[in-house]
Amino acid sequence: MKKTISIIATTGVVILGSAFLTDSVHAETPDNSQSERSTLNANLSEAEEKIANVMIDLEDLNEKIDSVNNALEQNKDKMSETTSEIKDTKEEINTIENDVKNLEEDIEVRNEILKSRIVSYQKSGGDVNYLEVIFGSKSFSDLIGRVSAVTKIAESDNKLMKQQKEDIGKLEDKKASVQEKLDGLNDMKVELEGMKETILAQKEQNEADKKELKEKEQKLRALKSNLQDKRRSLVTINREVEQRSGNVHSSSGSSSSSDGGNLTTLSKKEEKAPSGSLSEVMNAGMPYLGTPYVWGGGSPSGFDCSGFISWAFSQAGISVPSSTAQLQYTGSKVSYSNIQPGDLIFFNTYKTNGHIGIYLGNGKFIGSQNSTGLAIASMNNSYWKSHFAGHVRRIK
C-alpha cells in the first residue's frame, strides 16, 4: 500500500508539472520547443496510463497470491484432518474384523456341540432314536421323564440352531458394515489424491503469479524512472521557454483537476454483471465468496463442489441432486459452443466429471474448489482448461 501511495504521489507531481507547462506555453515560443513539449506531454500521458494499469494489475495479483496462499494452508489442514480420519477408520475396521473373528469362533463351537449331539442320539437317523428312548421306558413315570428329557433336548437344539442363525445374520451385517467402511475409505483416498493434484496445480499457478508479479514490479519501476526523467526534461524545457518569453503562469487548479482524474482512474475497475434467466442461481453464492471447502458441505458454513450447486439452485426454488455422480445426468446436455450463463460445467479432475461449477459468462464460472473455497475462476486458467472436456448441462 505504501508503494501504491508513493506511485500515486509521483504521478500527481508529474501531472502537476505537465499542467503547469501546458498553461505556460501559450506565449510565443519557437516551433521546435512547442513540438518537443507536445511530444513529451504525449509520452508523459502514456506513461501515466501504463502506471495506472500496472498498479491495478499489481493489486489484483497481490490479492490472488494471498488467496492462493490461504487456500494452500486450508488444504494442508484439510489433508491432515482427512489423514487422521483415515487412520481412525482403519482402527475401527480392525476392531470390527476382530469381532467378526470372535463370532466365527463362537459359531464353530456351536457346530461342534450339534455334531456331538447328532452322533450321540441320531446314529440310526431322524427321529427313530427319540422313539427308542421313549418306548424303552420301564414304567409310566419313567416314560414321562424320558419324554420330558427328549423334549428339552429338542428345544435346546432348536434354540441353539436359532441362535446360530441369528449369529450368522449378525455376521453378515458386520461384513456389510465392514465393506461399507472400506468403500467409504477408498472414496476418501481417491478424493485425497484429487485434492493433492489440485494443490500441486495451484502451487504451480502461484509460482507463475509470483513471477508475473515481479515482472510487473520491474516494469513499474522502469516506467516510474522513465517518467521522472521525462519530468525533469519537461521542467528544464519549460524554464528555458519561460526565460525566453518572460511569461510565467501558475496552474495549480488545473493540475489538481488532472491529479484527481488520475486517482479516480486508479480506483475504478469496471465489472460486468452476469446475465441470463438463472441469475438468481448465479448470484446466490456471491455474498459467500471465500467460504471454505468442506467435504460433503452444502450450506454457507462450508461447501463442496456439488453441495454448492444443489444449494445455489435451491435458492431459486429449483431442486437438483447434491452429487456429481447424479448431476452429470441432470438436465439436458448442450454443446460448449452453445453454452449460456447458468449452465453446469464439469471438469475431469480426480475422476471423469469429478468437479462442477456454474458458468457465469465471459469464460468465468463460480464453484467451490478445495484449493480456494467458493470462488470465481477462469476457464482459461491452465489447470481448468486442461481438465475441461466440453461436458455442459442445462437445467430448465
Residue 62 inside a domain? The answer is yes
* Residue 105 and residue 66 share a domain: no
Span 162-217, pLDDT tens digits: 776 787 677 778 778 877 877 877 787 777 777 777 777 777 877 787 677 678 76
Last residue of a domain, one of 174, 198, 222: 198
Residue 93 inside a domain? The answer is no
Query: Region 375-384: what's the mean pLDDT?
Result: 89
- A 10 A CB-CB count for 381 gives 15
* Residue 54 and residue 106 share a domain: no
Predicted local confidence at residue 224, as pLDDT: 60
Predicted local confidence at residue 67, as pLDDT: 72
- A 10 A CB-CB count for 380 gives 9
Predicted local confidence at residue 248, as pLDDT: 44
Q: Contact 352/293 with Cβ under 8 angstroms?
A: no
Residue 92 inside a domain? The answer is no
* Residue 378 and residue 348 share a domain: yes
| Stretch among 5-19, 27-41, 257-271 having the lowest mean pLDDT | 257-271
* Residue 229 and residue 165 share a domain: no
Q: In DSSP terms, which residues pair with 347 in a beta bridge?
A: 355, 388
Predicted local confidence at residue 386, as pLDDT: 92
Nearest to 75 by CA among 280, 266, 295: 295
Predicted local confidence at residue 385, as pLDDT: 92
Residue 113 inside a domain? The answer is yes
| Stretch among 120-129, 215-224, 285-294, 315-324 having the lowest mean pLDDT | 120-129
C-alpha span between 359 and 163 (Å, rounded): 59
- Which residue is associated with the grid cell 478424493? 191
* Residue 338 and residue 248 share a domain: no
Q: C-alpha cell of 222?
A: 522502469
Span 98-128, pLDDT tens digits: 777 777 777 777 677 767 766 665 554 544 4
Greater model confidence, 281 or 201: 281
Predicted local confidence at residue 228, as pLDDT: 59
* Residue 321 and residue 250 share a domain: no
What mean pLDDT value characterizes the chain?
71
Q: Contact 48/262 with Cβ under 8 angstroms?
A: yes
Nearest to 69 by CA among 175, 206, 259: 206
State residue 365 phi and psi, 5-degree precision. -145, 155
What pTM value is reported for the model? 0.39
Predicted confidence band at 347 (pLDDT cuts at 50, 70, 90)? Answer: very high
* Residue 351 and residue 331 share a domain: yes
| Stretch among 122-131, 276-285, 305-314 having the lowest mean pLDDT | 122-131
* Residue 172 and residue 121 share a domain: yes
| Stretch among 30-39, 224-233, 348-357, 373-382 having the lowest mean pLDDT | 30-39
Q: Contact 185/89 with Cβ under 8 angstroms?
A: yes
C-alpha span between 219 and 137 (Å, rounded): 114
Q: Contact 360/341 with Cβ under 8 angstroms?
A: yes
Q: Domain total for the chain?
A: 3
Predicted confidence band at 323 (pLDDT cuts at 50, 70, 90)? Answer: very high
Greater model confidence, 282 or 116: 282
Query: Region 291-297: what's the mean pLDDT?
Result: 90
Predicted local confidence at residue 299, as pLDDT: 94
Predicted local confidence at residue 301, as pLDDT: 92
Residue range of the domain that includes 57: 2-79+213-267
Residue 349 inside a domain? The answer is yes
Span 71-93, pLDDT tens digits: 677 767 777 777 777 777 777 77
Last residue of a domain, one of 267, 287, 309: 267
